[in-house]
Structures are given as structure tokens and as C-alpha cells.
């Protein structure tokens, strides 16, 4: 696909955003911008942003808007990130408004918001069994997607880790934050870009979910190429630039 992708993947913690993001970026040739990954890297490197973010992250709380918005806008300004998939951002109304303003002023509005729907009772089992290979971001699950050797990455044989916030206790805070602060983001995009929302049932087999996402995104781009020429102007209600 030659057009620029400007996608968001949206959903509660452990909805499968990371797994499906890998599929999307591979197929649609866009850059995966995961704010969780960017922040974890900043924490590891002990940068100023990392120091500001660490405590919030460990508790499962949102990092303040002033910190995270700057991180994302800086990333979006890089020419190599002009085709992107945002994963984990925006997570508050303030972030959604800042993102929308920046993209619209730039004449490059979003062209799809993939909304992964997963019931809350499924999320706890998913999150507590999740194991990660930190260097690659590969994700496993002790029951649903176990590594070939327990505790080891399939490709490198290196240790898998459990994220500090992948506990039942932190999940409670993360879900409460999701419902209170992040759900309004979806409403925001439903209002300003209703045709960009792609509703996906995230409580199916991983391959099936990917098929649904792929079909949905392809259809949106087909609709676009069959419609009138793009105007590419800053416009609150533009669905596709």
C-alpha cells in the first residue's frame, strides 16, 4: 500500500493491542509507536521522562499528559514516522485533543481507529499469565500462547519477564483508569471522525482477530480510493485525508 497510514489501536490493557500491532505494522508498512514501550525504554535509560514516569507506571497510573504528549509529538515530527500506528496513545481526552490538533494542523488526520473489544473478566487471566521477551517485545502467555521452553524466548532462548504492572492488583487500577480516563477518547473520535472507527471483537482466536482487522482496514482504504480525491486540508471532520 502506497498511502500513508495514520492508525490508532485502542482497547483496555491486555486486549491484544501489542500482538495485533505487530501484524498491522508488518502488513501496512507503518512504524509502531507504543507509548508503553517508549516509556519503559526511558525508565530503563533513566532519562528525565523516565524518572518522571516510573512511579506512575509501577502503580498502573497514567503518566501525566504534559509528559507523554511531548514524547509522542516529538516522535510524530520525525519524517521516518509519517506512516504510524499509535498503540497506547491517546489515553485521555487531553491527549486526544492534542493529537487531533497537531495532525489536523499538519493536514494529516488519522485514517483509522481500531477498537479492540474484550470483556473485563477475560482480561485478568490474560494479564496475569502474560510473559514478555524484553529486547524484542515478543509476548507469550503461560496458558494461551506458551513458549516452547518455559520462561524462555522461542527465538533467542533468553529469559522472559513478567511486567511489574501485569498483576491482578495493578490491573484493577489500570482498568479503573481505562474506564474513567481512556473511554472518553473513543467517544471523542466517534464524534469527530465516526467513519474512522473499526470495531473489532477481540475475544476470538488471535488469527481470526487479525483477519477481521486486516479486512476492515483494507476496506477502509478501498472506500477511500473509490471516493472523491483527497483534499488534504486541516478539517475536524475529515475521515481520511
Q: Which residues bind ligand AMP (CB under 6 A)?
A: 13, 35-36, 39, 56-57, 60-63, 68, 88-89, 91, 95, 165, 174
In the numeric block, the cell 519503559 is attached to: 40
3-state secondary structure of 143: coil
Give yes or no: 17 in active site.
yes
Residue whose CB is less far from ligand AMP, 93 or 142? 93
Give yes or no: 152 in active site.
no
Which residue sits closest to ligand AMP, CB atoms considered? 36
Give yes or no: 174 in active site.
yes
Q: Could you say which of 6, 130, 131, 138 is catalytic?
A: 130
Cα gap 187→83, rounded to integer Å: 24
Q: Could you say which of 6, 22, 91, 126 is catalytic?
A: 91
Cα gap 163→2, rounded to integer Å: 36
Minimum CB separation from ligand AMP for residue 231, in Å? 30
Sign of the four-CA dihedral 92, 31, 58, 149: positive
Minimum CB separation from ligand AMP for residue 68, in Å? 4
Take residue 199 and report the three cell numbers written for it.
470495531
Residue whose CB is less far from ligand AMP, 28 or 89? 89
Q: Could you say which of 54, 131, 174, 220 is catalytic?
A: 174
Residue whose CB is less far from ligand AMP, 111 or 177? 177
C-alpha torsion angle, residues 46, 48, 50, 56 (rounded to 10): 130
Hey, which bits of 80-172 come out as E strands?
A: 84-87, 112-117, 130-133, 138-141
Minimum CB separation from ligand AMP for residue 55, in Å? 9
Q: Which residues belong to the active site?
A: 17, 91, 130, 163, 174
Amino acid at each position: 500500500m502506497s498511502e500513508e497510514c495514520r492508525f490508532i489501536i485502542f482497547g483496555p490493557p491486555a486486549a491484544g493491542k501489542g500482538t495485533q500491532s505487530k501484524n498491522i505494522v508488518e502488513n501496512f508498512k507503518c512504524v509502531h509507536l507504543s507509548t508503553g514501550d517508549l516509556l519503559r525504554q526511558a525508565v530503563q535509560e533513566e532519562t528525565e521522562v523516565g524518572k518522571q514516569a516510573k512511579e506512575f507506571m509501577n502503580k498502573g497510573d497514567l503518566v501525566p499528559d504534559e509528559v507523554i504528549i511531548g514524547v509522542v509529538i516529538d516522535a510524530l515530527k520525525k519524517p521516518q514516522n509519517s506512516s504510524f500506528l499509535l498503540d497506547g496513545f491517546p489515553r485521555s481526552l487531553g491527549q486526544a485533543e492534542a493529537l487531533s490538533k497537531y495532525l489536523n494542523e499538519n493536514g494529516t488526520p488519522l485514517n483509522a481507529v481500531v477498537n479492540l473489544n474484550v470483556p473485563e473478566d477475560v482480561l485478568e487471566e490474560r494479564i496475569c499469565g502474560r510473559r514478555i521477551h524484553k529486547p524484542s517485545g515478543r509476548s507469550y502467555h503461560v496458558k494461551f500462547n506458551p513458549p516452547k521452553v518455559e520462561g524462555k524466548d522461542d527465538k533467542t532462548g533468553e529469559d522472559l519477564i513478567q511486567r511489574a504492572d501485569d498483576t491482578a492488583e495493578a490491573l484493577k487500577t489500570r482498568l479503573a483508569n481505562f474506564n474513567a480516563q481512556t473511554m472518553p477518547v473513543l467517544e471523542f473520535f466517534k464524534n469527530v471522525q465516526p467513519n474512522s472507527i473499526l470495531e473489532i471483537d477481540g475475544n476470538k482466536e488471535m488469527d481470526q482477530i487479525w483477519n477481521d482487522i486486516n479486512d476492515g482496514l483494507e476496506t477502509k482504504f478501498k472506500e477511500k480510493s473509490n471516493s472523491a480525491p483527497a483534499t488534504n486540508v486541516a478539517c475536524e471532520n475529515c475521515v481520511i485525508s
